[in-house]
Structure 1
Amino acid sequence: MQKIRTLEEQREEFAQRRLIALPIAGLIAWAVIGIGSLFLSPFAISMLLFAATGSIVYLGMFISKFTGENFLEKGKPKNTFDTLFFYSFGMSLLVFGIAIPFFQADYTSLPLTVGILTGLMWLPITWIIQHWIGVIHGVARTITVVMVWYIFPDHRFLAVSIVIVLLYVFAIAVLELRWRGLRRQA
């Protein structure tokens, strides 16, 4: 019979994870968007953004097999924070309800709205893993996406993509260093 774990034990268990599969997937998705923005029509780049950001979780599930996180592993015990994490991810997908009407009025609003709104899921990560990276990523992403959206009005898809990719590189490096430090302590 499996021992019932407290929420704190489950939070600590979740916090011991590597947590880089989804950021790698996000990095790939936004890199594809940035590259696509160099040669695709406004309609095509908009559809690419919807498809790429909508596929991050699926790409992350695939990548997790190679990072040792294996999201789909059936043998591991249930963790309440997995559910919270996926609800947070679901929350970020629901914000397409904000992005789509603005997109219909101005297609260049899409990288701004989706770039910021899908970054909101980083905030709960800070609390769950008790590490600053989630707040830094979420706040830096919001500020820099807004800045480059205004500074580069003719290249909004590219500028926003570059910012998000760079922030993902930073976050992945921080998360990886954090995880390696945890493994050394164990």
Structure 2
Amino acid sequence: MQDNRYLLIVDDDATFTRILGRAMGRRGYLVLTACNASEALDLCRQYNPRRAVVDLKLECESGLHLLPKLIQLNAQLEVLILTGYSSISTAVEAIKLGALNYLCKPASVEDILAAFDTDATPGAIGISESPPSVERLEWEHIQRVLAENAGNISATARSLGMHRRTLQRKLQKRPVKQ
């Protein structure tokens, strides 16, 4: 039996998890928190939550690898991928794997709740009229090639024609704003 009040938050940032958990608790959710994939899977088995907010980059794991496992345990689970390292390729991959939505950090509690609202009219979130910057396009391209190479830094660097250390430095930076 699925309890619609259970919300699973999977993020390795303890401060963010605590703040989001408190805010969701004030909105009537019974909050479950996990800092890694194994904890998340155990909580999903035990409580059968209705919704989950999953960070894309966990300490040693990827939220994209966790996503299908959560959905396999609970086919009705609505999963929102939340990340500070957004790219078009990871957004597309997350949706293909069954995520309900994909949001970039920082996201407010209202943004997160709105992302779970499937009755919202499509296009309710505004799309910028201005084209992305060259730096943003570079970031998106690197993320796409990295995904094509299954996260292999050396192979990605060869594909992009750049030194591996240069690519690593670019990947350590936060993504460029639109």
TM-score (norm 1): 0.25
Higher helix fraction (1 or 2)? 1
Structure with higher RCO (Cα < 8 A, 6+ apart)? 1
TM-score (norm 2): 0.26
